[in-house]
Amino acid sequence: MTSSYNAEEKNHMNNQNNQESKDSPSGAPEKHSPPPGPPGGTPGQPDNDNIPWGALLILVLGAFMAILDTSIVNVALPKMMVIFGASADEIQWILTGYMLTSGMVIPMTGFLGDRYGNKLMYIWSLIIFTIGSALCGLAWSNNSMIAFRVIQAIGGGMVMPVTMAIIYRIVPMRKIGTALGVWGIGAIMGPAIGPTLGGYLVDKFSWHWIFTINIPVGILTIILAYVLLKETPLMPHLKIDIPGMILSSSGCFCLLLALSKGQDEGWTSEYIVTLLVLSFFLILLFILWELQCEHPLLEVRLLKNKVIVASLLSTSLVTVGLFSAVFLVPIYAQNLMGYTPMQTGLMMMPAALVTGFMMPISGKLFDKYGALPLGLVGLTILAVLTYQMKYISTDTTFTHVQVLLSIRAIGLGLAMMPLTTAGMNTVPRFLVSRASALNNVVRQISGSMGIAYLTYVMLQRQTYHTVWLKEAVNVSSPGAALTQKTLVSYLAGMGYTGEAGNQAALSIMSSMVTKQAYMNGIQDAFIVSALLVVISLPLLFMLSKKQVDQQRDIENNRYAHQAVPPHGLPAAKPETAKA
């Protein structure tokens, strides 16, 4: 692709070669040996072989704060309903508004990071997120809370892709797995710690604290980021892709809204079908526009990379496996077992700790062995234990569920990070911001699709089991007759006699059937989730260390004419441009 970018780059490189020729005693350009590490990691890579732990922990802190906020709010919704006098549908927009806004801003982060610098974008994302958190703590109505959550989401949605892009700029390629393993602790533990921490803050203090707690942490992170982080290479020549921004944000908005409201409105309703069709054509137009745009918002040509495609597909399928526990276990614990949100958080806490413990280990092993062996072991454990979750029931103990989730978390911790990193490692360094944005867009959409699909499966199977159980439990069933007789005797002792006792017994039996059907629906959703994880297994063979190295060479050759010098492109002077 010929562009003003290439002209600037050639002028810059020619000037650099001329200077080298003057400095060399022989008058010939000096030969520089390539930097250590695998091919493809040269532009913008650090000169030493050490992980900058201080900078990495600053990025982890920001990522953890943004991810935590997506789950910590859930436990405060019932109290907000009472305080704001809002209905369940109205209060749900506090969550939906955040999700939609973050999905809309993610595609822009790669372009903005390249144009203005990822450090600057990280600091601004933290500033916006912190201001939004402060405003949420001051909200006086449901509408004001939704508006302030949208502001918060603008910053929160940018944090994850920007921090991933910075990590690829500041960490040596051969240690990227270790760094992303540490970074992934925040992404994995945030959703699990959120309900426990949120329940504690709401019970002991006030719902305002789930937002205001972000203010001191946000200010501290902003100061540390400003002082300790270094700016990434800039591409000041990039022009803002306005049509791309409009098409991508509109397409993501329609798709995410359809996925979040599909179960409530009905998947075949005119409202949802219109949103899905509209999102399809908007995203299609976005792709077509990006393919011919001189400075695209998202580098969709990266999808020619078969390793990235395999990485994105496998990550999407495994994300559904991740959400099967994050989404279904709280429903099981609170709706069927009667646990509080805080107790539910404590049920899931050991699994979060196990995953957090496994992520750095997985990263270290990834740097040495690649994604294939880790993925095979991890996804096998994840698939088997997700399938085992179908055997939980209302008689299952609290500790038993914790053990199942913790063993399952070993597989998740082993597999999740390598699946993503294998694809990212094939991308030329100057495109990591765009690749990070693409990766996070896919993850956001697949997470929403996963929740929507699991909800659909659970409710459809619940309906099926309700019909089946009601047919099985009838007057001719010996078990049903014995249960009714036992209940009538028990109720008679409580003062319910005659017809009142019979009706009360039948009502109790009906609720038992409904509860069992609900439990069976959750069990079936776990089976479907396990099957999706199994489907992702063949994709792992495209993520072997050999495949990644070969694809990295292919991508470096493909984008060789666009490779950015290590310190970015300086703005071309008028006289240089004429030359």
Q: What is the pLDDT of residues 337-393, one digit of tens each?
A: 888 777 887 888 888 888 888 888 888 888 888 889 999 999 999 999 999 998 988
252: confidence class by pLDDT, cuts 50, 70, 90: confident
Let me know: does 456 contact 263? Beta carbons within 8 Å. yes
107 occurs within a structural domain: yes
pLDDT digits (tens, 9 = 90+) for 463-521: 888 888 777 666 566 666 666 667 666 666 666 666 666 666 667 767 777 788 888 88
> Quick one: 198 and 276 in the same domain?
no
**29 compared with 227, residue with greater pLDDT:** 227
Single residue among 195, 219, 238 that ends a domain in this structure = 238
pLDDT on residue 278: 93
Let me know: does 86 contact 142? Beta carbons within 8 Å. yes
61 occurs within a structural domain: yes
pLDDT on residue 223: 94
Dist. CA 248–CA 103, nearest whole Å: 10
Span 147-155, average pLDDT: 91
pLDDT on residue 15: 46
Share above pLDDT 90 across residues of the chain, in percent, rounded to a whole number: 17
Which residues span the domain enclosing 123? 48-238
> Quick one: 67 and 100 in the same domain?
yes
Which phi and psi angles does 167 have, rounded to 5°? Answer: -60, -40
CA angle 45, 51, 53 (to 5 degrees): 130
Looking up tokens 């290479």 gives 233
4 occurs within a structural domain: no
> Quick one: 253 and 148 in the same domain?
no
**420 compared with 130, residue with greater pLDDT:** 130
> Quick one: 139 and 199 in the same domain?
yes
> Quick one: 118 and 142 in the same domain?
yes
Let me know: does 142 contact 84? Beta carbons within 8 Å. yes
Q: Of 193, 202, 212, which Cα lies nearest the Cα of 81?
A: 202
> Quick one: 210 and 245 in the same domain?
no
> Quick one: 192 and 285 in the same domain?
no
Enumerate the H helices of 73-141 as residue ranges: 77-84, 88-116, 118-137
353 occurs within a structural domain: no
Q: Of 250, 565, 570, which Cα lies nearest the Cα of 429?
A: 565
pLDDT on residue 295: 81
Span 250-255, average pLDDT: 88
Confidence check: pLDDT of 212 > 60: yes
420: confidence class by pLDDT, cuts 50, 70, 90: confident
Span 119-125, average pLDDT: 93
Q: 3-state SS string over 32-82?
A: CCCCCCCCCCCCCCCCCCCCCHHHHHHHHHHHHHHHHHHHHCHHHHHHHHH
Single residue among 294, 326, 359 that ends a domain in this structure = 294
Q: Of 54, 155, 66, which Cα lies nearest the Cα of 109?
A: 155
448: confidence class by pLDDT, cuts 50, 70, 90: confident
Let me know: does 180 contact 168? Beta carbons within 8 Å. no
Confidence check: pLDDT of 23 > 50: no
User: In the chain, how many domains are there?
Assistant: 2
495 occurs within a structural domain: no
151 occurs within a structural domain: yes
46: confidence class by pLDDT, cuts 50, 70, 90: low
> Quick one: 110 and 83 in the same domain?
yes
- Most confident stretch, 200-204, 332-336, 381-385: 381-385
250 occurs within a structural domain: yes
- Most confident stretch, 48-57, 326-335, 388-397: 388-397
CATH number at residue 214: 1.20.1250.20
Dist. CA 313–CA 1, nearest whole Å: 28
> Quick one: 263 and 141 in the same domain?
no
Let me know: does 109 contact 229? Beta carbons within 8 Å. no
Q: Residue 165 has which token pair? A: 């892009």
Let me know: does 300 contact 431? Beta carbons within 8 Å. no
**178 compared with 323, residue with greater pLDDT:** 178
pLDDT on residue 273: 92
Dist. CA 31–CA 34, nearest whole Å: 9
- How high does pLDDT run on average in the chain? 79
> Quick one: 268 and 210 in the same domain?
no
Confidence check: pLDDT of 578 > 70: no
> Quick one: 170 and 185 in the same domain?
yes
> Quick one: 161 and 263 in the same domain?
no
Single residue among 248, 273, 294 that ends a domain in this structure = 294
Helix axes 53-72, 118-137, angle to 10 degrees: 30
203 occurs within a structural domain: yes
